[in-house]
Amino acid sequence: MTERLFDRDSHLQQFTAEVISCEAIEQGWKVELDRTAFFPEGGGQKGDTGSLEGIEVWDTQETGEGIFHYTRRPLEPGAVIQGRIDFEKRFSRMQHHSGEHIVSGLVHRFFGYHNVGFHLGDGPVTMDFSGPLTEEELRRVELEANRAVAANLEVQVSYPEKEVLAQLEYRSKIEIEGQVRLITIPGYDVCACCAPHVSLTGEIGSIKLTGASRYKGGTRVSMLCGLRALADYNMKEKNVAEISALLSAKPEEAAIAVKRLLAELQEKKERIADLQEQLLAQKLEQIPEGQKTVCLFQQGLDTIAMRNFVNAGAEKCTGICGAFAGDDETGYQYILGSRSRDLREFAKEFNLVFHGKGGGKPEMVQGFVQGSRTAIENYINR
């Protein structure tokens, strides 16, 4: 049985060990040691990476047979080797795992919800809770979680006897057989967990809840801690600064400036729609009753304006009425209408000739084609 050095010291970065076995596998080799600081995947936390005697360890897993280190090259059984874990990655995972315990403990204490799912990779942590959480409730949890970080509390590891454990209240996602390892953050959480954690809550640095969405009747919450939270803040600060500069607004007034810009844009859209309506009304007046085909080419037309024109134009012509928005270089969005023929077959041929796509109902089809205005008009008027 491999001695689990990470259980005694989660901050241990280097160690010596004897190679027990080395077996070739499809992706390389799997190596078993007599002792290891490499944490194998478990408790929602991925297995450690690093090196053994300078050889890359790209994953660590545990099976019923033992803990295995997956390497790119073999190691000699019986050799005493030096192991080194990728501690920057491990420490970040410990920060996030301990942060998750604090947040989950607070959600359970404040609202009675359980953490029913947890994913800890190298991006944002996601936590799935069994009930709905509002933005205000999450802000309350986030504030109290950072108070726990600021208090620099000891993160306690214990292995209670079965009789003592039966008297304790603690969180656990699964039924555990054998010895239970408890992680206690005084005043915040007690949870069964096999993974390495920080020694003091201050090591977490900061806890930032970055998003929430409804998920399976509950809430999925995203979180970042430590340097990942700082990187996220820096990215968002940079974006806000750039937006503020573009809008000539102070950073704290960027949202107000964007809302004002959107309101102005909406006014312009409505004005353009009015002008388009007037323009198309004039175009419709110019169509003589009984004309065979009508083709309108106009840049900037929106779908609603095109559809309205085609509906009205199809009543005046005996064949096809079409509206096209675009140009010869980039192609044309189109809507075609007719009161005298089924346009579905026509649209198939039209799209084939002009490398387009689209379809619709017998009396109206729409899509996109590539071609010149002249070629399109000639095809429809043929």
User: Looking at residue 315, which CATH number applies to its domain?
Assistant: 3.10.310.40
Please indicate, yes or no, whether residues 55 and 97 belong to a single structural domain of this protein. Answer: no
CATH number of the domain within which 108 lies: 3.30.980.10
Query: Do residues 191 and 168 make contact, with C-beta atoms less than 8 angstroms apart?
Result: no
Say if 279 falls within a structural domain: no
Domain boundary among 219, 234, 249: 234
Domain match, 310 and 377 both: yes
pLDDT at 197: 95
300 three-class SS: coil
Phi, psi values for residue 165, rounded to 5°: -60, -35
Write down the pLDDT at residue 276.
Answer: 82
Looking at residue 176, its pLDDT comes to 64
> Of 85, 107, 124, which residue sits at a domain end?
85
- Report if residue 348 sits inside a domain: yes
- The answer to whether residues 169 and 299 belong to one domain is no
Count of C-beta atoms within a 10 Å radius of residue 279: 15
**Is 146 among the domain residues?**
yes
Q: Is the residue at 256 inside a domain?
A: no
* E strand or H helix that includes residue 69: strand 66-71
As a whole number of angstroms, the distance between CA 211 and CA 221 comes to 6
One domain, residues 79 and 102: no
Domain assignment present for residue 269? The answer is no
7, part of any domain: yes
Domain with residue 81: its CATH number is 2.40.30.130
Q: What is the pTM of this model?
A: 0.75
Alpha carbon distance 67, 70 (integer Å): 10
User: Does residue 68 share a domain with residue 7?
Assistant: yes
Whole-number Å distance between alpha carbons of 86 and 89 = 6
pLDDT at 234: 95
Q: Rounded to whole angstroms, how far apart are CA atoms 140 and 72?
A: 47
Q: Which residue in 180, 201, 204, 176 sits closest to 189, CA to CA?
A: 201
Count the domains in the chain. 3
- Asked whether residue 268 is domain-assigned, the answer is no
* Residue 71 · residue 56 · CB < 8 Å: yes
CB-based contact 29:19 (threshold 8 Å): no
Pair 294, 321 in one domain: yes
Q: Is the same domain home to 105 and 210?
A: yes
Contact between 334 and 368 (Cβ < 8 Å): yes
Asked whether residue 62 falls in the same domain as residue 99, the answer is: no
Q: Are residues 103 and 76 in the same domain?
A: no
* Residue 312 and residue 218 share a domain: no
What integer pLDDT is reported at residue 349 of this predicted model?
93
Give pLDDT, residue 200: 98
Q: What does the alpha-carbon distance between residue 22 and residue 230 come to, in Å, rounded to a whole number? A: 41
Q: Which residues of 365-381 are buried (b: 16+ CB within 10 A; e: fewer)?
A: bbbbbebeeeebeebbe
Residues 103 and 62 in one domain: no
Q: Print the domain residue range for 317.
A: 287-381
Per residue of the chain (382 residues), give pLDDT as tens. Answer: 889 999 999 999 999 999 999 999 988 999 999 999 999 998 788 999 999 999 999 999 998 889 999 999 999 999 999 999 999 999 999 999 999 999 999 999 999 999 998 888 878 899 999 999 999 999 999 999 999 999 999 999 998 888 888 778 888 766 666 788 899 999 999 998 889 999 999 999 999 999 999 999 999 999 999 999 999 999 999 999 999 999 888 988 889 999 999 999 999 988 988 888 888 888 888 888 888 899 999 888 889 889 999 999 998 888 999 999 999 999 999 999 999 899 999 999 999 999 999 999 999 999 999 999 999 999 998 8
Same domain, 162 and 55: no
Decide which of 85, 102, 122 is a domain's last residue: 85
d(CA 342, CA 369): 19
In a domain, 297, yes or no: yes
Q: For residue 47, which phi and psi values (nearest 5 degrees)?
A: -70, 150
User: So what's the pLDDT on residue 175?
Assistant: 63
